[in-house]
C-alpha cells in the first residue's frame, strides 16, 4: 500500500464573518456558543480538506475566551491540521476579532479540535501522513504531541485515583466545601 503525504498548507482554511446582533448573549457580547459552532465548522473544513473525506469531531481541547467579541466586529478564524494519527487529526484554530472602524485586532481564543476521518459507511478511515515544511509546522506538531501525552497521563491518573480514600477526602477539606457523606 502506498503511503500518501500532504503538507500542512493543504489543510489551511480561513473564514471571516461579521458579528450581528442576533449572535449576542444576554450581556450584549457575541455568544460563546456561536463562536464554538463556527470553530467546529472550520475544524471540519480543514480536516475534510486535508483527508479528502467526511470528518467528525472527537474532542475539543480547552477553549479559553480571552477577549469578548462585540457586535459589528469582523471575526476571523484560521485553522490547519497540526498533527495526524492513523485516522485522526488535530486541527488548531485561532480566533481574532477586528473592529472594522478602528482596525484594532484582538486575539479572542485558540483551541484544538480532534477530528476523525470517516468513510461512506461511517467507519474510521486512514488519513494522509503529514509533511512539515517550516519551523512553525514543527512547533505546532510538537505542541500537539505534548498535549496528547499530557491527556494520556491525566487519563491514567483518573483511572487509578481513589476518590473515596480517607486521604483523598481529607485533602478536599482545604477547598470551599463541606462533606456530608
Model-level pTM? 0.89
- Answer whether residue 101 shows pLDDT above 70: yes
Helix (H) or strand (E) holding 117: strand 105-118
Q: Are 92 and 112 contacting, i.e. CB atoms less than 8 angstroms apart? A: yes
- Answer whether residue 129 shows pLDDT above 80: yes
Q: Which fold has domain 5-132?
A: Thiol Ester Dehydrase; Chain A (3.10.129)
User: What value does the mean pLDDT of the chain take?
Assistant: 95
Q: Residue 60 is placed in which grid cell?
A: 475539543
- Answer whether residue 1 shows pLDDT above 70: no
- pLDDT tens by residue, 138-181: 999 999 999 999 988 888 777 777 888 889 898 888 998 888 88
pLDDT value of residue 2: 81
How far is 129 from 91, CA to CA, in rounded Å? 14
More reliable by pLDDT, 178 or 10? 10
pLDDT value of residue 90: 98
* CB count in 10 Å sphere of residue 97: 24
DSSP state of 100: T
pLDDT value of residue 180: 87
- pLDDT tens by residue, 43-98: 999 999 999 999 999 999 989 999 999 999 999 999 999 999 999 999 999 999 99
Q: What are phi and psi for residue 104, nearest 5 degrees?
A: -70, 130
How far is 115 from 121, CA to CA, in rounded Å? 17
Q: Name the residue ranges covered by the structural domains of the chain.
A: 5-132
Q: Is 122 left (phi over 0), alpha (psi -120 to 50) or beta?
A: left
Amino acid at each position: 500500500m502506498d503511503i500518501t503525504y500532504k503538507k500542512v498548507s493543504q489543510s489551511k482554511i480561513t473564514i471571516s464573518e461579521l458579528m450581528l446582533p442576533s449572535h449576542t448573549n444576554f450581556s450584549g457580547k457575541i455568544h460563546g456558543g456561536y463562536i464554538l459552532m463556527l470553530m467546529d465548522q472550520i475544524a471540519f473544513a480543514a480536516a475534510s480538506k486535508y483527508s479528502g473525506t467526511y470528518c467528525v469531531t472527537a474532542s475539543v481541547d480547552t477553549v479559553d475566551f480571552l477577549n469578548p467579541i462585540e457586535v459589528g466586529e469582523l471575526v476571523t478564524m484560521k485553522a490547519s491540521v497540526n498533527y495526524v494519527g492513523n485516522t485522526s487529526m488535530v486541527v488548531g484554530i485561532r480566533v481574532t476579532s477586528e473592529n472594522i472602524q478602528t482596525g484594532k485586532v484582538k486575539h479572542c481564543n485558540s483551541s484544538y479540535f480532534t477530528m476523525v476521518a470517516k468513510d461512506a459507511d461511517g467507519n474510521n478511515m486512514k488519513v494522509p501522513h503529514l509533511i512539515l515544511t517550516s519551523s512553525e509546522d514543527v512547533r505546532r506538531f510538537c505542541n500537539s504531541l505534548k498535549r496528547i501525552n499530557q491527556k494520556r497521563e491525566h487519563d491514567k491518573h483518573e483511572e487509578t485515583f481513589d476518590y473515596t480514600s480517607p486521604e483523598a477526602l481529607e485533602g478536599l477539606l482545604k477547598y470551599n466545601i463541606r462533606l456530608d457523606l
